[in-house]
Structure 1
Amino acid sequence: MLELRPSCECCDRDLPPDSRLAMICSFECTFCRNCAEGPLSGTCPNCGGNLVPRPIRPAAMLAKYPASTRRIFKPEGCIPKA
C-alpha cells in the first residue's frame, strides 16, 4: 500500500493525500509536479526511475488506511542522477 507521503522531497511543498500535484516513482519517492516537470525532467533523482502522478486514495479508504506523516526533505535540492 502506498504511503502517500505528505510533502515534496525537493522543495518541501505540502502534498495532501488528495493532491493532484503529487508525483511518485516506483519506490514512492514523492515530488510536487513543479519539481518533477522542472529540474527533474520527469526522472527521480534517487533511483533514476520515471515520475508519474500519485493515485488518490478514496476518502473511505483514507480513513481506514491513513496517509503517512513522515516528511522526507533533502535540502541539497533537486539534482537528477547522472
Structure 2
Amino acid sequence: MLELRPNCELCDCDLPPASHQARICSYECTFCADCAANELNNTCPNCGGELTARPIRPPHRLKLHPASTRRIIAKR
C-alpha cells in the first residue's frame, strides 16, 4: 500500500493525495513534478530509480487507507 506522502522531499511543497504533481520512485521517495523534472532529471537522488507519476487513490479508499502525514525533507 502506497504511503501517499504529503510533501516534496526537496522543496517541501504540499502534495495532497489527489495531486497530479506528485512523483515517486519504487521506494516511494516523493517529489513534486517541478523538482523531479528541473532539479532531479526524473531520477531519485536517494536510490537512482526513475521518478514517475504517483497514482491517485480514490476518495472512498482514502477513508479506509488514509494518506501519510509524516513529512520527509531531504538533507542537502
Q: Normalised by the shorter chain, which TM-score bucket?
A: over 0.9
Q: Tell me, in whole angstroms, the C-alpha distance in 2 between the residues paired with 1:16 and 1:55.
A: 12
1:13 maps to 13
| Deviation sequence 1:31-62 (CA, Å, 0-9, x none) | 00000000100100000000000000000000
Aligned to 1:26: 26
- The answer for unaligned runs of 5 or more in structure 2 is none
Q: Which amino acid aligns with 1:5?
A: R
Q: Counterpart of 2:62?
A: 62
TM-score by length of 1: 0.91
Identity across the alignment (%):
63
| Alpha-carbon RMSD | 0.6
The number of residues matched between the two structures is: 76
